[in-house]
Amino acid sequence: METNYLLMSKKELIEAGQMMGEKDIENGRKDILQAYLYTKSQIDYLTAYLDYIHDAAMNDFEHIGEKEHSEYGRRVSKFEAGTKYDFSKCGHPKLDQYEIELNTTKVLLDGMKDFVKRLQKPFTMVDEETGETFEVRPPIKTSTTKLKVIY
């Protein structure tokens, strides 16, 4: 029997996915990597499909003529996403000055981070202006290991 995901709440969908994954792992599913790749492929397919039909779905929603529409236990409404502002034509002199200062500082900061990132071991440095000495250590590197899938 096929599950009708439209009848499930978001919480139920998440819990069902987690339970299925837990069950497959606990039962020692032998093809778990295959299941991962299959699911990743479904996500990529469905993401592309969703992106493609978005404008047509927006058109359908606008024909309904409501600010919010409910269907299958889901509330649908429009919202503004990814709002951006272009300040380059504002003409405010302080704003332009701060942008230049920020960009200059960012270049200096990025250069300093690149230098410190390449350190292999701590070393002692002297501030030429104050004569103060301090120890400079390499940054702490953290990461998360994930599976990379290339088609």
Query: Do 73 and 97 fall within a single domain?
Result: no
Domain of residue 111: give its range. 93-136
Instruction: State pLDDT tens for residues 12-50.
Output: 999 999 999 999 999 998 999 999 999 999 999 999 999
Please list, in sequence order, all residues whose beta carbon lies within 8 angstroms of the beta carbon of residue 64, skipping any fewer than 6 positions away. none
The whole-number pLDDT of residue 37 equals 96
Query: Do 11 and 68 fall within a single domain?
Result: yes
Distance CA 111, CA 38 (A): 42
Instruction: State pLDDT tens for residues 92-113.
Output: 999 999 999 999 999 999 999 9
Query: Do 19 and 71 fall within a single domain?
Result: yes
Query: Do 67 and 107 fall within a single domain?
Result: no
For 110, the enclosing helix (H) or strand (E) is helix 93-117
- Altogether, the residues listed in the chain come to a count of 151
Query: What SS3 state is found at 60?
Result: helix
Residue 142 pLDDT exceeds 90: yes
Query: Do 27 and 59 fall within a single domain?
Result: yes
For residue 124, give both structure tokens. Answer: 């002692």
Q: Residue 147 domain-assigned?
A: no
Whether residue 38 contacts residue 45, with contact meaning beta carbons closer than 8 Å, is answered with: no
Residue 3 pLDDT exceeds 90: no
Query: Do 40 and 97 fall within a single domain?
Result: no
Query: Do 113 and 51 fall within a single domain?
Result: no
Query: Do 27 and 65 fall within a single domain?
Result: yes
Chain center to CA of 65: 33
Whether residue 87 contacts residue 95, with contact meaning beta carbons closer than 8 Å, is answered with: yes
Residue 1 pLDDT exceeds 80: no
